[in-house]
Amino acid sequence: MSTGFIGLGAMGAPMARHLHARGLLTAVGNRTQAKADALAAGLGVRAARSADNFADCDVVALCVSLDADVLENVAALARVLRRGAVVVDHSTVSVQTATRAAALLGAEGIGFIDAPVSGGVEGARNGRLSVMAGGEAAVLEQVRPVLEAYAARISHMGGTGAGQATKAVNQVLVAGINEAVCEGLALGEKLGLDPQTLLPTLMAGAAGNWFLEKRGATLLESRFTPGFKNAHMLKDLRIASAIAASAGLQLPTLQQALADYGELVERRRGEEDTSSLIDLKRAGPKPVTGP
């Protein structure tokens, strides 16, 4: 199977490396060409300069940033891929974007699987991602060897868009956990508790979780290298909030997280890791302004 990978960021680059390790990677592409050139040279694969360079691929996986980036790549790939090829999208985008991508590709006889992932950059590096797939079962089977290169679990959640719907649910949990961890650790700091003892103590009990384990130590040292960017979290929470509203649900923790990441992005901290949320919790209550 010949696979292309587009979007070589914090997640995509290690995922592409796993494909290469399994002998599946043919070509890599990225918006900033230098990243594709460097990875391609390092791995001895093709550096794509345009969609044309993926024309011979059986599968092309995407892990780009926004909905518009997915649709731009899908439109270009729809023009060049052969019938029976499949595009897999690992980016976190809306259900509507997944539906649009499937329609654009389907019109050319090309398959599409929305397959957002969870597990963070550590999961991408270790090949231990949870993959949430939407689309036809037969098409998912076709691309399973690709997904297995970096997945701990592959879940078929339903038809097109079901993967993105599942990821929205995932992000409601992630956002709530981040809120709770940052509030708890801000309190721990104020009380003067020793972080060296506090973190393993919390991890050993019912409060233990991925975010505390992977980001607890660095966030207490105010080191906020991504990881997962605040700007991407804000994008995800806007998607989740729209889905919750259309399902008739009011989710107050999600709304608080939306406001917090909105504030971080407004303060030009969008490129920091989501653990910089602790700074908002350290600040204490906002002063009441106005009459």
Site residues, ligand NAP (CB under 6 A): 6-12, 30-32, 35, 63-65, 69, 72-73, 91-92, 117-118, 120-121, 227-228, 232, 236
Distance between CA 235 and CA 213 in Å, rounded? 24
**Residues 202 and 177 sit within 8 Å (Cβ to Cβ):** no
Choose, from 35, 167, 229, 281, the residue flagged as catalytic.
167
Pick 49 or 190: Cβ nearer ligand NAP:
49
Cβ 187 to ligand NAP shortest distance, Å: 26
Cβ 115 to ligand NAP shortest distance, Å: 11
Q: Taking CB positions, which residue lies at the least distance from ligand NAP?
A: 9
Pick 173 or 198: Cβ nearer ligand NAP:
173
Pick 68 or 137: Cβ nearer ligand NAP:
68
Pick 16 or 143: Cβ nearer ligand NAP:
16
CA 138 to chain centre: 24
Q: What is the amino acid identity at position 39?
A: L
Cβ 283 to ligand NAP shortest distance, Å: 25
- Residue 214 annotated in active site: no
> Contacts for 211-217 with beta carbons within 8 Å, 24 or more apart?
211/174, 211/177, 211/178, 211/181, 211/275, 212/181, 214/120, 214/122, 215/181, 215/273, 215/274, 215/275, 216/181, 216/185
Provide the annotated active-site residues: 167
